[in-house]
Amino acid sequence: MTATALQELAQSLHNCQRCKLAKLGRTQVVFGVGNPHASIMFVGEAPGFNEDQKGEPFVGAAGKLLNDLLTSAGLSREQIYIANVIKCRPPNNRDPEPDEVETCKPFLMQQIQTIRPKLVCTLGNWATQTLLERKVGITKVKAQAFYMKDFVIFPLLHPAAALHQGNLLDTLKEDFKKLKEFLDKHSKPAEPTTT
C-alpha cells in the first residue's frame, strides 16, 4: 500500500514541469529511494550531478560518506528512506531558490506522510530549515531531537560539507554517534513490569 502510494506519487512527478528547474538542464526528477516502511528517513538538499544522472539520491561522493556514517550508527541504506527537499538538480549545484523549495516541499511532505517515519534526519541547512520551518543555522541545532506533531527531527551537518572541510568530518562522525545513542535509547524494549 505504502509502496504503491509512493510509486503513484513518483509517477505524478515524472517529467514534472512545475518549476523552472525543468528547463534549466536537469536530466530527470530524483524522487527518493529506500524502504517504504522505514521508521527513519534522511532528507538532503537537492540532487547533484551523479544523482541527476542516476535518478537516485546520494549516489555520489557525499552518498558514499553517508553510507559509512550510516554503518557507524548501525544503520543500512536498506532500512531507511532517502529523499531531497527539491527533486531536480539546480544548475551547477547552486542553492535551491525559494520558489523551487515552495513548489517541491509539498511532495516531500507527501513522502513523509506516506512513509510515516518516526525520525527524520535532515542533512544540512536547507532540509533542516525547510522541515523545522524556521531560519536557523545547522550548527545551532545539529544532533538534537526536535519533537514535531508526527515525527522527531534530528538535524545533522550535510555530508558534502564534511567532504570539503576535514574538521567538519570529525564533527559529523561525533554527531552520528549521538544519533546512534538516540536510536539505542528510543528503541529499547520496555522494562518488564513486575507485579
**47 is a site residue for ligand URA (CB under 6 A):** yes
**58 is a site residue for ligand URA (CB under 6 A):** yes
Of 95 and 181, the one with the shorter C-beta distance to ligand URA is 95
**C-beta of 86: minimal distance to ligand URA in Å?**
9
**51 is a site residue for ligand URA (CB under 6 A):** yes
- Binding part of the chain for ligand URA, among 15-23, 47-55, 135-143, 162-170 by CB under 6 A, reads 47-55
Half-sphere exposure of 179 (CA within 13 A, CB side): 29
CA gap 105, 131 in Å, rounded: 9
**33 is a site residue for ligand URA (CB under 6 A):** no
Of 40, 70, 160, 162, which one interacts with ligand URA (CB under 6 A)?
160
**45 is a site residue for ligand URA (CB under 6 A):** yes
**C-beta of 147: minimal distance to ligand URA in Å?**
24
- Binding part of the chain for ligand URA, among 14-22, 39-47, 68-76, 161-169 by CB under 6 A, reads 39-47
- Binding part of the chain for ligand URA, among 3-11, 31-39, 45-53, 132-140 by CB under 6 A, reads 45-53
Of 29, 32, 84, 143, which one interacts with ligand URA (CB under 6 A)?
84
- With a CB cutoff of 8 Å and minimum separation 6, the contacts of 95 are 45, 126
**96 is a site residue for ligand URA (CB under 6 A):** no
- Under 8 Å between Cβ of 18 and 103: yes
- Under 8 Å between Cβ of 112 and 151: yes
Q: Which residues are at the interface with ligand URA (CB under 6 A)? A: 44-48, 51, 57-58, 62, 84, 160
